[in-house]
């Protein structure tokens, strides 16, 4: 019985490939982020109400303007990138992009994970786990790694805690130049502390 259960659980996890993103992945990347936002950021709590319309406007902009611009910008950056400045990885199942992450250095030189998104239809199947392991490998574990997460996004906070991140208690830096008609998602900062070198006497 135990054996049967273990096997059927394993069968639920598809085979996931993690590869460097290519220009032709840009549209799938932007689409996955928007659909993941819609699922994760819509909220109707007593003290906070953010509707699907609010999230869609923040994601895509009026007349989908942001979406088209983001796809073009990303396509161009991926085409120009020689691998030094843009560490963008996609997860693929059967050749289809189902998630992505972008480990990077922030403007203070701190190591950072800026994005971690899995297609809502593929969440809970091991894709995010593979992506975060790749991001941590790319960044290295000899320095602290930071990220920001929406404060009511308990699913993502639990996911990051599972991989050792803790809340710093510092406010996330405000996003500059954001038009006032767009909703702001309240964010917190988390950190994965550097692994201490073991001192061999």
Ligand X SMILES: CC(C)(COP(=O)(O)OP(=O)(O)OC[C@H]1O[C@@H](n2cnc3c(N)ncnc32)[C@H](O)[C@@H]1OP(=O)(O)O)[C@@H](O)C(=O)NCCC(=O)NCCS
For the chain, the first-to-last Cα distance in angstroms comes to 49
Burial class (CB in 10 A: 0-12, 13-18, 19+), 99: buried
The catalytic residues are 160
Per-residue mark of binding to ligand X, 10-49 (x: CB under 6 A): --------------------------x---x---------
Q: Which of residues 151-170 bind ligand X (CB under 6 A)?
A: 153, 155-156, 158-159, 162
Does 124 bind ligand X (CB under 6 A)? Our answer is yes
Nearer to ligand X, 23 or 164 (CB): 164
- Separation CA 150–CA 170 (nearest Å): 13
The reply on whether position 123 binds ligand X by CB under 6 A is yes
CA 124 – CA 138 distance, rounded (Å): 23
Cβ closer to ligand X: 13 or 76?
A: 13
Q: Tokens 């999230």, residue?
A: 55
Smallest CA-to-CA distance from 147 within 180, 199, 192 is with: 192
Cα 201 to chain centroid distance, Å, stands at 40
> CA-CA distance, 139 to 131, in Å (whole number)?
12
Number of neighbouring beta carbons within 10 Å of residue 115? 19
Told to check if 186 binds ligand X by CB under 6 A, we report: no
Asked if 103 touches ligand X (CB under 6 A), the answer is no
- Give which of 108, 103, 114, 33 is closest to 66, Cα–Cα: 33
Contact between 114 and ligand X by CB under 6 A: the answer reads: no
In the list 25, 29, 128, 135, the residue contacting ligand X (rule: CB under 6 A) is 128
Q: Which of these ranges, 54-62, 75-83, 110-118, 170-178, lies near ligand X under the rule CB under 6 A? A: 110-118
Counting residues that bind ligand X (by CB under 6 A) gives 19
Residues in touch with ligand X (CB under 6 A): 36, 40, 116-118, 123-129, 149, 153, 155-156, 158-159, 162
């Amino acid at each position: 019985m135990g054996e049967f259960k273990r096997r059927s659980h394993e069968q639920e996890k598809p085979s996931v490939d993690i590869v460097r993103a290519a220009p032709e992945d840009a549209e799938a990347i932007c689409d996955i982020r928007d659909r993941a936002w819609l699922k994760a950021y819509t909220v109707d709590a007593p003290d906070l109400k953010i509707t699907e319309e609010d999230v869609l406007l923040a994601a895509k902009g009026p007349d989908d303007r942001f979406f088209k611009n983001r796809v073009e910008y990303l396509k161009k950056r991926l085409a120009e990138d020689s691998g030094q400045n843009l560490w963008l990885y996609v997860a693929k199942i059967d050749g289809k992009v189902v998630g992505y992450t972008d480990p990077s250095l922030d403007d203070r030189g701190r190591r950072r994970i800026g994005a971690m998104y899995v297609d809502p239809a593929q969440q809970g199947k091991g894709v995010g786990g593979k992506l975060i392991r790749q991001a941590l490998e790319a960044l290295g574990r000899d320095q602290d790694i930071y990220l920001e997460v929406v404060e009511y996004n308990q699913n993502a906070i639990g996911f990051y805690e599972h991989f050792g991140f803790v809340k710093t208690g510092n406010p996330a830096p405000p996003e500059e130049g954001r038009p006032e008609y767009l909703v702001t998602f309240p964010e917190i900062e988390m950190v994965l502390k550097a692994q201490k070198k073991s001192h061999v006497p």
